[in-house]
Amino acid sequence: MVRALSEAATVTSKSMVTIPVKIRQKYGIKEGMKVEFVELEDAVLMIPLRSLKELRGVDKAHETALKEAIRELNEEHRKEAGG
């Protein structure tokens, strides 16, 4: 079961919203960080955008799976090129 964190905020006269502290802390949203707004049919998602520096090393947890996927792709390409 997905547990949603629900917080409310008020839109100011200048169309600005303060992101609640619990949300900022949970998602590591800091001053100067970019966020993307994605419009869905009946909702708007706000997605924090990570810098390349912040993403460095993220793949370490999946290194084995990534290497195996690369090997499989290389094997498929060899078979296609040879046959």
pLDDT in tens, 7-31: 899 999 999 999 999 999 998 899 9
How many CB atoms are located within 10 Å of the residue 24 CB?
Answer: 16
Mean pLDDT of the chain: 85
Closest CA to 22 of 33, 8, 1: 8
55: confidence class by pLDDT, cuts 50, 70, 90: low
Residue 19: what pLDDT?
A: 94
Highest CATH level, class, for 1-49: mainly beta
pLDDT of res. 4: 77
